[in-house]
Amino acid sequence: METRTLGNTDLRITRIGLGTWSIGGGDDEYGWGPRDDEAAVATILRALELGLNWIDTAAIYGLGHAERLVARALTAWRGPRPYIFTKCGLVWDAQGRAAHNLKRDSILRECEASLERLRVDAIDLYQIHWPAFPPGSSDRDIEEAWQALVELKQSGKVRQIGVSNFSVAQMERIRPFAPIGSLQPPYSALRREIEGDILPYCQRHGIGVIVYSPLESGLLTGKMTRERIAALPANDWRRRHPDFQPPRLARNLELVEILRGIARRHGCSVSEVAIAWTLRHPAVTGAIVGARRPEQIEESAPAANLRLTETDLAEIDAWHARTAPA
């Protein structure tokens, strides 16, 4: 599988990496319903067999459970060791309630806990998960958090450092302390906001971009119907999200039909088209693709080799122009 250098780091990553938010599962407010640990480990191993060379996780996914599953899979893996990317800044209390903390001491404790759960000596890419959480709250501690990541890199506990969900203004605030290796923003054929200023900024400053949710949490797979959404478990966060409810859902499913037509022309899955659309942008180094079962990552992985035509791209652009909110 083709690899590219991630920004100013020395990491050569495949165009697709495995995301582990969904396999964390659990009953917390960001859970995906009941979890199947055996299927999760099998999915990680299948992703590695298919040639993906990086796994993206976070401490908050399943309140540490996703990181433990990654460690369990790596224990069983006999091939080349993949890169492990994880994140900091979201912590939880004894009741499982999430809170945001970018203070130095908290970041250092989080790193030690992730190293222990992952069973590794060093994290390949350590990222600030959110500059503010909930989004829109205070981001006053981002400089302190970034300097803590620099400290961890200098100590050898992490190899490269990056950020997630940062704006251009926030990246400008921390960049004087150390180069930003990568940014992890949301990006999909449905959600294009970063094209305006964030992607050009990353290109200018040599910041790698690994986008998340290219499939919009299942919406752009071609398999998410109104009936399936209605049947989601009560502890699946998607039941409560506006993108999965009227009136947005009708517009979103209209885009899926556009992608389905493109998929027919290429003889591929809708998921492949949605992922390939994000990879076509020159600023995007790779895409994080979540999966809960081996067959899901088998369906998505070929997107790394799919090249969409100008006609394909024009169809998606025309849909955006026609349906953009006034």
Residue 57's Cβ-side half-sphere holds a number of Cα atoms within 13 Å equal to 30
SS3 92: strand
SS3 156: coil
Looking at the annotation, which residues are catalytic? Answer: 61
DSSP string, 96-126: --EEE---HHHHHHHHHHHHHHHT-SSEEEE
* Closest C-alpha to 54, from 123, 8, 155: 123
- The radius of gyration of the chain from alpha carbons, rounded to an integer in Å, stands at 19
Both tokens assigned to 296: 């899901």
* Closest C-alpha to 112, from 55, 152, 69: 152
Q: Indicate the helix (H) or strand (E) that contains 312.
A: helix 310-323
Whether the link from the prior residue into 247 is cis, omega within 30° of 0, is: yes
- Rounded Cα distance between 127 and 184, Å, is 8
Q: Which residue has the tokens 């890199």?
A: 153
Instruction: Compute φ and ψ for 161, nearest 5 degrees.
Output: -130, 145
SS3 128: strand
